[in-house]
Amino acid sequence: MPNPNPAVMEFLLTRRSRPAKTLTAPVPDRNALMPILTAAARTPDHGKLEPWRFIVLERPAMQRLAALVADRGAALGMAPEQVEKARQAFADAGLAVAVISSPKQSDKVPQIEQVYSAGAVCLALVNAALASGWGANWLSGWPAYDPVITEQGLGLAPGESVAGFVHMGTETAPPPERPRPDVNALTTWVGA
């Protein structure tokens, strides 16, 4: 017989990411962040390869990245509003954890499964932060895929990529509700 945990199920059914622009100080310190990172690291990992890692970006690092994003966007000739939106995501944040997809060579575990595991870490990190009482949001955007930002700004090695930036902080406003998927329309039952 199953042994349900109604409190956890209720959390999962009602969880809601908090818009990053509504998060402010205080942010989790190292002591508060370690259990959140530990919970996220319990993500399924076929082959025990640990195909991901964390980069904790504190306020000074976020400011440095904001400047790099502005410079890089201008160098690429991007629209000023697109550059400014990406810059603000870093400039206005007190803390983010960059989840780095870092696939390992494996004859048994395809690279795509390792990338999926990194994505699962992002969601686990958001949920662990929310469960710990912090506001959290998983973002990416063009800076996550720009080689200058990822290599120079974050020090990523060849073959690594940003799975997401998980922003954390104190909520300043309740999250807006949004439409949810129609699970019946998305589900096919196969009996035989």
Q: Does 53 carry a binding-site annotation? A: no
Q: Does 59 carry a binding-site annotation? A: no
Taking alpha carbons only, the member of 24, 54, 29 closest to residue 39 is 54
Query: With contact defined as beta carbons under 8 Å apart, do 16 and 175 qualify?
Result: yes
Instruction: Read off the tokens for 110.
Output: 């395809």
Give the DSSP H/E element, type plus range, for residue 130.
Answer: helix 111-131
Q: Does 72 carry a binding-site annotation? A: no
Q: Does 140 carry a binding-site annotation? A: yes
Q: Does 138 carry a binding-site annotation? A: yes
Q: Does 42 carry a binding-site annotation? A: yes
What is the rounded distance in angstroms from the CA atom of residue 59 to the CA atom of residue 140?
18
What is the rounded distance in angstroms from the CA atom of residue 180 to the CA atom of residue 161?
29
What is the rounded distance in angstroms from the CA atom of residue 43 to the CA atom of residue 154?
23
Binding-site residues for FMN, please? 15-17, 42, 46, 138-140
**Binding region:** 15-17, 42, 46, 138-140
